């Protein structure tokens, strides 16, 4: 895969799902020892440590635990004294590192809250996307989300956030700033903004619950074809509904073909990726997952596709996990032509659990394969038409986001050429409709 591509942090690619599990299988240690441990664990950081151990012990995909003596690890963890939850966090992270799996990871309460907000597709705040400008070291607004307090208040792309409720933001990480901006709906917040050609000014806003748009789409006239362009940022809780609306709207506008842009999409909810695959694919397999006992589950299309029009998919080295499930399903079933750079290569499934103190744990529970049985882990998906951007092209698109998904975007332009040529596989006229899986767990990749 493209080694120069930016890799997403585990926070961005972990898988959501599953309810918190509080049962403990401590009987393996003997009754007397168990009673002592249970007494010591009540209302102490050790309860958190043991809860993490139990979840990993029950769910982790590798039954050998990376050749570690996992029972000995538990005894070692519980033999120590922890004066605070923070000390327990350190011990938990050290224990998880032994598994050699970057996706099985512990999240403190703030990290877990950020993750759940991201995957739910909703956030309580003011509705902006921002970045830390590398040159000015100032937080800069990338976009004010539709129907958000920020947009209604007149915040614009390019505005600099100089302070949040009086706290200066120079060199402040985006994650820290996001934590300050988020809050209970109906509560006030004051931003100090800098805008080109104006003096710094304060703007008072009221937080609200916002549905974060993950789908952007429009219809373009490309030669003699009407092309529906859809960009999917991530597979959040609202992504499938937004995708359904986009496809139906573009169908009503008489789109002749589609370009689905998954570049930079780090993944999301497993169920969301399956639902979206079924919008494009009438028949055939979507994904096969295998757990630590070798048990497998196959999920198939179910004759609910919204369109059979020609489809091109754009991917890059940051298209990961759920993006790769969708791409692999449509590629293996000859439903789409895939264009761009080799994808990230993450074929592991995680469940995420909320812990007793509001922190969280992501546990790798399964390995997935494409419909043709391809293992893409650490390899990625090779596009049908491989077209890597040059460093200069990447910089141009990064500095001019409005060029992404236009004829000035080489990968998009190549997709239009492929759609115009008709020299790629069309959806199969008929396939055996296999039974639909009993239902994917609501997990996140």
| Residues involved in catalysis | 321, 332, 346
CA distance 443 to 445: 7
CA distance 359 to 109: 4
Determine how β-strand 337-340 pairs with β-strand 385-386. parallel
Residue with tokens 């979840």: 55
CA distance 300 to 329: 9
CA distance 440 to 430: 25
Q: 202-240 as b/e, with b when 16 or more CB fall inside 10 Å?
A: ebebebbebbbbbbebebbebeeebbbbbbbbbbbbbbb
Q: What is the DSSP letter of 352?
A: E
CA distance 242 to 234: 11
Which run of H or E residues covers position 115?
helix 109-120
CB 333 within 8 A of CB 284: yes
């Amino acid at each position: 895969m493209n080694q120069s591509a930016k890799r997403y942090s585990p926070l961005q690619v972990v898988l959501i799902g599953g309810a918190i599990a509080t049962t403990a299988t401590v009987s393996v240690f003997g009754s007397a020892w168990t009673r002592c441990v249970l007494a010591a664990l009540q209302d102490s950081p050790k309860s958190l440590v043991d809860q993490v151990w139990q979840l990993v012990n029950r769910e982790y995909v590798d039954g050998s635990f990376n050749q570690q003596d996992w029972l000995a690890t538990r005894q070692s963890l519980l033999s120590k004294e922890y004066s605070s939850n923070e000390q327990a966090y350190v011990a938990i992270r050290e224990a998880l590192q032994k598994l050699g799996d970057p996706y099985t990871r512990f999240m403190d309460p703030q990290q877990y809250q950020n993750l759940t907000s991201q995957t739910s597709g909703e956030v309580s705040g003011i509705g902006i996307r921002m970045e830390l400008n590398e040159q000015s070291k100032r937080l800069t607004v990338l976009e004010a989300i539709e129907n958000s307090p920020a947009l209604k208040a007149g915040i614009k792309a390019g505005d600099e956030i100089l302070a949040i409720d009086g706290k200066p933001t120079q060199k402040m990480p985006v994650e820290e700033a996001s934590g300050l901006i988020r809050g209970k709906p109906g509560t006030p917040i004051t931003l100090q903004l800098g805008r080109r050609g104006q003096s710094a000014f304060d703007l008072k806003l009221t937080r609200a619950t916002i549905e974060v748009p993950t789908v952007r789409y429009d219809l373009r006239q490309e030669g003699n074809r009407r092309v529906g362009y859809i960009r999917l940022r991530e597979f959040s809780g609202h992504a499938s509904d937004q995708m359904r609306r986009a496809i139906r709207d573009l169908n009503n506008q008489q789109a002749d073909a589609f370009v689905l842009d998954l570049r930079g999409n780090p993944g999301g909810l497993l169920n969301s990726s399956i639902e979206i695959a079924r919008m494009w694919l009438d028949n055939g397999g979507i994904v096969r997952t295998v757990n630590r006992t070798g048990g497998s589950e196959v999920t198939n299309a179910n004759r609910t596709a919204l369109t059979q029009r020609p489809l091109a998919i754009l991917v890059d080295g940051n298209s990961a996990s759920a993006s790769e499930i969708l791409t692999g399903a449509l590629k293996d079933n000859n439903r789409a032509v895939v264009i761009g750079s080799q994808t990230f290569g993450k074929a592991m499934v995680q469940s995420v659990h909320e812990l007793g103190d509001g922190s969280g744990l992501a546990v790798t529970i399964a390995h997935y394969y494409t419909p043709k049985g391809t293992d893409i882990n650490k390899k990625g998906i090779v596009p049908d038409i491989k077209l890597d951007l040059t460093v200069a092209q990447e910089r141009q698109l990064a500095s001019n986001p409005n060029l992404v998904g236009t004829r000035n975007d080489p990968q998009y332009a190549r997709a239009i050429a492929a759609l115009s040529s008709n020299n790629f596989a069309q959806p199969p006229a008929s396939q055996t409709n296999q039974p639909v899986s009993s239902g994917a767990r609501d997990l996140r990749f």
